[in-house]
Chain A
Amino acid sequence: MQRRVYLDNNATTPVLPEVMEAMRPYFGEHFGNASSIHHHGQETRAAVERARESVAALLGCRASEVVFTSGGTESDNLAIFGLAEYGLGPGDHVITSTIEHHAVLNACKHLGAQGCEVTYIPADGRGLVDPADVKHAIRANTKLISVMFVNNETGVVQPVAAIGKIAAEAEVYFHTDAVQAAGKIPVDVNKIGCALLTISGHKLHGPQGVGALYVRKGTQLEPMLYGGSHERSRRAGTENVPGIVGLGKAAELALAGFERGDDLKIAAARDHLERELLEIDATGLNGERAPRAPNTTNVYFDGIEGEALVIALDLKGMAVSTGAACSSGAIEPSHVLTAMGLSRERAKSSIRFSLGKQNTAEDVDFALGLIPETVARLRALSPVWPKSAVSR
């Protein structure tokens, strides 16, 4: 069988074996509805609350401040529209950035269509949002600031603590999408100073289809789904118990991983990969000179179509990604990279490599054995790449 190496962990991560084991009983003998009063319900209720404590420990908050959802997108939407129900309406002002995930970007776009004013703060060439820009954008009618913690495409860590401070001074709600931060770098809601924070299970080796929203005590949030009084009336619907248990276990393992130095190990592997890739002619790092999460590197290869490189590598057993896939599965140039000032050409020639806990040094070697020759082949066949610049 073909060897397959997966370096697309910002898209999703494999569920760790311990997570799988923790979830397994909740597909079988522990099947109760966590809202039921009998033994079966009590069993799953306890599991859900234990998971809530594990997530709270990862985020540095109280268990009662964690709301389980179906994932990052729902958490982002609940943060933005839940607040909208409470306070945001026509004439109110919202601040976000141009490099947000579509879950935030399109939610804000919708707010705009409903009559809210939305300011999109641009990122600089390093992929960083400047807190001073956020501060300058604040007006008397500003109600919400939403700026992500770690960018999904570049791994650049945004200055959320500085933005949190600005938000607190202006008495504006601050939401941060920490989907790509949780498990990769320490996340502490009190240091960030946010009222709302999003995480997703499958980005930290938990299962897909489960996420959480941190809601600071005292923050009024209206539910988006009408139903029962689950999750303290903030999110109706029978709990996804196996998923929640998996997320709890993943949070626990992530926390333990920091103590073990997993992040340093991943950073070393990433740095090795990055150094070697940048040895290839006419390449460069996107997000250079900015603080970055330890697992991500985003590199442009001038003269190639990222799309073709992704396909060529996939056919050789190596999974990486470029840009964002549209509904058909075709690739659009990354809005994050173009927002950073990259030309469309260069954005399209950029590839994201993102490592996970399962990756080994051999995986990086496999990638390095494949990529230089594939890039050379693509350039040799490119109608626009100067032939003299091709080394083979």
Chain B
Amino acid sequence: MLNSETIAVAMSGGVDSSAVAAMLRAEGRNVIGLTMQLWNQRRLAGHEGMPESVQGRCCSIDDVYDARRVAETLGIPYYVVNHEERFERDVVRPFVEEYLAGRTPIPCSLCNNHLKFDQLLVVAQQIGADKIATGHYAQVAFDEQSSRWLLKRPADKSKDQTYFLFGLTQEQLSRTLFPLGGMTKPEVRELARKHRLVIAEKPDSQEICFVPGGDYKRFLEAYLSEQGDGATSIPTEKKAGEMVTTDGKVIGEHAGVHNFTVGQRKGLGVATGSPLYVIQINNDTRQVVVGKDEELYSRTLRARRVNLISTAELREPMGVTVKIRHKHQPAPALIESAGPDEIRVTFDEAQRAITPGQAAVFYDGDIVVGGGWIEAGRN
């Protein structure tokens, strides 16, 4: 029977994943709800810069209660699985280390690659589920011609989350369902209401889930203070250094490269006549290079640790559109192989603030060709 396969739904307690569980259940599938316990919000409470009581969204008890209530309403089995250790190792530490190295990381992609579509998929298979389903706005389809699983942009382009999913392997895609791929957000809410789910009116979450209030600097301070000296490979010195202009003139000092992101204008701590922006962060010399807005533009970037989806390899240069941050309008560019797992991107027109640590995701229309991590924006 087609519908007899068992699906594990990754439930966050939000509207989207709850709607997924409701849809699959209504289709008559065997559905198991799973929530990943990833981070203990109370852990950093009281550490440097953190209040005694921290209200973050990630794995908050309220969200788990919501997910549990939804599962109960739908009459599906539901479990919370603990992946705190893996989350810290594969998401939180890289997040901290990237900032300390002067880059601007995207923890959500790491979480997708290492937790949701890796650990959770393993748990799902172990407990007898053939596939997992999530509330991401994206589409997955098998292409007969190329014999490859394709990742595609969703019907609701305003909710497109494919940028965070570029790391999915063929194996992962073959075992994944994105049931919301053809729906709009209002339709999803309506579905949740129809099923009388308690979370139907719950607001969307936007921020990085483990960083309360979106204040990543405060999070870094608290995490480093908790870890203490020598407890990790993370250097605890603050990486203070010089602030220099693009022509090499020292115009001030800064407290650490982790306080800056390419394109940043506010909080530079130097006053000059014309507006200054962070153009580049040089981790080796600890220099933060600042300059004029027009100096932020670049036509090329190099992406490392590339994952290709629609094609197994890139033999010839390919014309695509490229997104360099989540809220970026995909820009026409040529991609070509630049070594193992490495791709050079040349845009038709220079792009503003290409930021190391972010992802470059390549699209062929609505199809995700692949993506990689931006290593350098100016070369």
B126 contacts partner chain A, Cβ-Cβ < 8 Å: yes
Query: In the complex, are the beta carbons of B61 and A330 less than 8 A apart?
Result: no
Once bound together, how far apart are the Cα atoms of A377 and B127, in whole Å? 9
- Bound-complex Cα distance A330 to B82 (A): 5
Size of the chain A interface, CB-CB below 8 angstroms: 19
- State the Cβ distance, B342 to closest chain A Cβ, in Å: 26
Interface string of B281-324 (1 = CB under 8 A from A): 00000000000000000000000000000000000000000000
| B81 near A330: Cβ-Cβ < 8 Å | yes
With CB as the reference atom, state the residue of chain A lying closest to B123.
Answer: A308
| A330 adjacent to B80 (CB under 8 Å) | yes
Considering the chains assembled together, what is the distance between the CA atoms of A327 and B128 in angstroms?
26
Q: How far is the CB of B190 from chain A (nearest CB, A)?
A: 29
* CB atoms of A329 and B80 under 8 A apart: yes
Interface centre among B35, B59, B64, B123 (most CB of A within 10 A): B123
Does A162 interact with chain B (Cβ within 8 Å)?
A: no
Complexed CA–CA distance, A332 and B81 (Å): 10
Which of chain A's residues have a CB closer than 8 A to the CB of B61?
327-328
Residues of chain B within 8 A of A132, CB atoms compared: none
Q: Find the B residue at minimum CB distance from A313.
A: B127
Judge whether B37 is part of the interface by a CB distance below 8 angstroms: yes
Measured in the bound complex, the distance between the Cα atoms of B77 and A311 in whole Å is 10
0/1 interface trace, chain B 69-101, chain A, CB 8 Å (1 if under):
000000001011110100000000000000000
Interface membership of A381, Cβ < 8 A:
yes
Task: Please report which residues of chain A, range 323-351, place their CB below 8 angstroms from some CB of chain B when the two chains form the complex.
Answer: 326-332
Closest chain-A Cβ to B247's Cβ sits at a distance in Å of: 51
Q: Tell me which residues across on chain B come within 8 A of A311, comparing CB atoms.
A: 79, 81, 123, 127
User: B184 to chain A: which residues have CB within 8 Å?
Assistant: none
Q: Given A307-B81, A307-B82, A311-B81, answer yes or no on A329-B127 (Cβ-Cβ < 8 Å).
A: no
Do A328 and B128 have beta carbons less than 8 Å apart? no
Q: Give Cα A384 to B184, complex, Å.
A: 40
Residues of B within 8 A of A330 (CB): 37, 80-82, 84
Closest to A325 in B: B80
Question: Chain B contacts of A312 at CB under 8 A?
Answer: 126-128
List the 8 closest A-B pairs by CB distance, nearest first: A330-B37, A330-B82, A329-B80, A308-B126, A328-B64, A330-B80, A312-B127, A311-B127
* Chain B interface (Cβ < 8 Å from any Cβ of A): 32, 35, 37, 59, 61, 64, 68, 77, 79-82, 84, 122-123, 125-128
Using A312-B126, A332-B82 as known contacts, list a sample of 11 further A-B pairs with CB atoms less than 8 Å apart, ordered by residue number in A. Answer: A312-B127, A312-B128, A314-B77, A315-B77, A328-B61, A328-B64, A329-B64, A330-B80, A330-B81, A382-B122, A383-B122
Instruction: Provide a sorted-by-A list of 15 A–B residue pairs whose CB atoms are within 8 angstroms.
Output: A305-B123, A308-B126, A308-B127, A311-B127, A315-B32, A315-B128, A326-B37, A328-B59, A329-B80, A330-B80, A331-B81, A331-B82, A378-B126, A381-B126, A383-B122
